[in-house]
Chain A
Amino acid sequence: MSEDQQNLVTAIADMKETEAIELVRKLIDNDVPPLDILASCRQAMDIVGARFEAQEYFIPELVLAGEMLDQIGSIVKPLIKERAGPAVETAGKVLIGTVAGDLHDIGKNIVTFMLDVNGFEVIDLGVDVPKETFVEAIKTHQPQVAGLSGFLTLAFDSMKDTIEAIEAAGLRDQLKISIGGGQVDEQVRGYTGADAFGLTAMDAVAQCKDWIAR
């Protein structure tokens, strides 16, 4: 890796947005392959994720990191001519969504980001997701884990309904289910029939690692 590439990793990881974008342009001018630039971004994101886990970084840093990644992607991706390399082996497949009736997405997005930097393939169904959509997506994507997110207390029932629908479709045994959100706890977990609950993105990462390793 060139010095400029190393500097790019550091700039992104240290939240130096202007510097990072300038370095990307410089790397392109120096004919560094676009896929190598994206690899540096990936490396930077690993550092960002680790700092988030260490509670050096919080949500504002994740948002800015995501923003830098989007910008760099929009500069670099049109230049990609070579074929992508062989598919990267992922740590596992996770389906995630905010349950019916609830429009909150920040917690879900942070979990998605952290699962992604930890090597999981994440299928994000968005917010206010009907139970039928969860069931269909499980059939289609065959994830090992489903994450049901919800911030409002009404989500307790939506989570329960969703898990019952998954059960009724005969899919419950093939995956683990975790619920997450500001108001969930062990009592809510028991009520909904989930396998676990989590209050932070790290809880979700730890659960997925644990379940998929088995």
Chain B
Amino acid sequence: MTTMTIEREQKSGEDLYAEREKRVADAIALREPDRVPFSFFTHFWTATYCGHTFEELMYDGDKYTSSLRKALDDLQPDTFAALHINIVIGQTMETMGYKQLEWPGHGTDPNVGYQYIDKEYMKPEEYDDYLFDPTGFFLRTYLPRVATAYEAFAKLPDFPTLYYLKLIRATGAFTRPDLIEAFQTLAEAGRPMEAMMGELKRFAVEAKEAGFPQSIGSGAAAPFDHFADYLRGSKGAMLDMFRHRDKLLEAMDKAAVLIARDAVRSGKGNPFSKQVFIPLHWGLDGFMSPEQFKTFFWPPLRKVMMTLIENGLNPQVLWEGDCESRLETIADVPPGTCVYWFERTDMAKAKAVLGDVVCLRGNVPPSVLNLGTPDDTDEYVKNLIKVAGKGGGLIVDGALGIPDEARPENVFAMAKAVRKYGAYG
């Protein structure tokens, strides 16, 4: 099909990499690049494109890698996300008995992406335990609840009480058959994960040699989402805003330090990208009031972001939904350090408020990519660049990346439109 090809540039992989890396770096630093960068981010679209099921990708790293390789080769994006650690996790989750997701072939259809089970994994009266000792709370209370392999961790010794002869005597705890089995199961669950990490490292080098910079070096979460998604559940967290306000705020303040510390460690250790992906879930317009956003959501998130920035990393924040009422508030970051990826926020308004502060990313909607035509896609990208691309500071991507079910001809139309309308100077 003639529409499904992108003209190759006759340059070496090394030259292409340098050119694209600069293009993206310029966009992030708010310098005008040579052209608007086109970002390729998707969970399962490569399965759709290459004729695999989503389930196959979750269990077969080679299939995921080869489908991603083909997509990169065909689409020639300026930057991309290798999501091995988000995709090739089926076997590990199964072995460890992970309870927080339903995934293709395990709760969802083989061609339906995985979905999170929103429920209360931490009780409201456990804030004090978390605040006193988050590590102990995770080891003995939280982890046993979310995966069967961790259940025996409830029997772990209370480590800070192990001093002198007590720490010698405590070795006896590790002879418990259930703990031995837990460690063995976790090692078994970890083996495919380690193999996959090796695969990811190999592929990162290969992609670099072929000229493709990565857009994600590590990940983090907004502290409010950390509690609302993974600990208290969305309902619990919303009730805590009234019933346990101070404890929630204090716990988020603590979590911000832990989340940032982890993201800095993994982000600084990743030679392929300095961007830290922070997808947001509960901060959008309509969910909480602007005042609640300024109290519960933004300050702890900003704390995480500032730590990343102080460590030379670039927060790449995915603002789900429409965040128009938040624009002035979230402008409070050092200019040229962050990427704000918007899903449904009006990009012209975002440009007007944030254009001098952050690089915008987005936001070709799934309705266009899944249901529209190549002409619709071309038109959307053309207009997007017109309203949000002036002077740089824009990366074109799908509203939430490329939807799993997007029509391939539209994805190609998107890549082409960026080349057609995105040149500066």
Contact = CB atoms under 8 A, between A and B. Distances in A.
A187 B287 contact: no
A185 interface: yes
Nearest to A15: B242
Given A17-B242, A60-B241, A154 B286 contact: no
A187 B403 CA distance: 15
Interface string A173-189: 00000000011111110
Give the interface centre of A67, A156, A182 by most chain B CB atoms within 10 Å: A182
A185 B368 CA distance: 10
A58 B292 contact: yes
A86 to B, nearest CB: 34
A167 to B, nearest CB: 19
Nearest to B287: A59
Interface string B362-383: 0001111011100010000000
Q: Interface range on chain B: under 10, 10 to 19, 20 to 34, or 35 or more?
A: 35 or more
Contacts of B243: 17
A185 B366 CA distance: 10
A47 B39 CA distance: 46
B320 interface: yes
Give the interface centre of B243, B365, B371 by most chain A CB atoms within 10 Å: B371
Given A182-B321, A188-B367, A58 B287 contact: yes
Contacts of B234: 106
Give the interface centre of A58, A60, A157 by most chain B CB atoms within 10 Å: A60
A187 B405 contact: no
Given A17-B243, A153-B405, A60 B370 contact: no
Interface of A, secondary structure class, is loop
A191 interface: yes
A101 B102 CA distance: 11
B370 A153 contact: yes
Interface stretch (B4-12, B78-86, B105-113, B168-176): B105-113
A58 B405 contact: no
B238 A59 contact: yes
A154 B112 contact: yes
A154 B241 CA distance: 32
A200 B241 CA distance: 22
A57 B234 CA distance: 17
Contact of B288 (A59, A102, A154): A59
Interface in A181-214: 182-188, 191, 200
Interface string A11-53: 0000101000000000000000000000000000000000000
B252 to A, nearest CB: 15
Interface in B235-264: 235, 238-239, 241-243
Nearest to A189: B367
Interface string B106-138: 001100110101000000000000000000000
A150 B243 CA distance: 30
B239 A64 contact: yes
Interface in B332-383: 343-344, 365-368, 370-372, 376
Contacts of B366: 153, 156, 183
Interface in A142-166: 152-154, 156-157
A182 to B, nearest CB: 6
Interface string B297-318: 0000000000000000000000
Nearest to A66: B235
B3 interface: no
A103 interface: yes
A63 B365 CA distance: 30
A101 B134 CA distance: 35
B109 A185 contact: no
Nearest to B398: A153
A121 to B, nearest CB: 24
Nearest to A60: B238
Contact of A67 (B108, B112, B117, B239): B239
A192 to B, nearest CB: 9
Interface in A71-114: 101-104, 106
23 contacts: A58-B286, A58-B287, A58-B289, A58-B292, A59-B286, A59-B287, A60-B239, A67-B239, A101-B108, A101-B109, A101-B112, A102-B115, A153-B404, A154-B404, A156-B370, A157-B405, A182-B320, A182-B344, A183-B400, A184-B367, A185-B367, A188-B371, A191-B367
Given A184-B367, A200-B286, 16 more contacts: A17-B243, A56-B289, A58-B287, A58-B288, A58-B292, A59-B286, A59-B288, A67-B239, A101-B108, A101-B109, A153-B405, A156-B371, A182-B321, A183-B367, A187-B368, A187-B372
Interface of A: 15, 17, 55-60, 63-64, 67, 101-104, 106, 152-154, 156-157, 182-188, 191, 200
**A-B residue pairs, 5 tightest by C-beta:** A187-B367, A60-B238, A153-B403, A63-B238, A153-B366
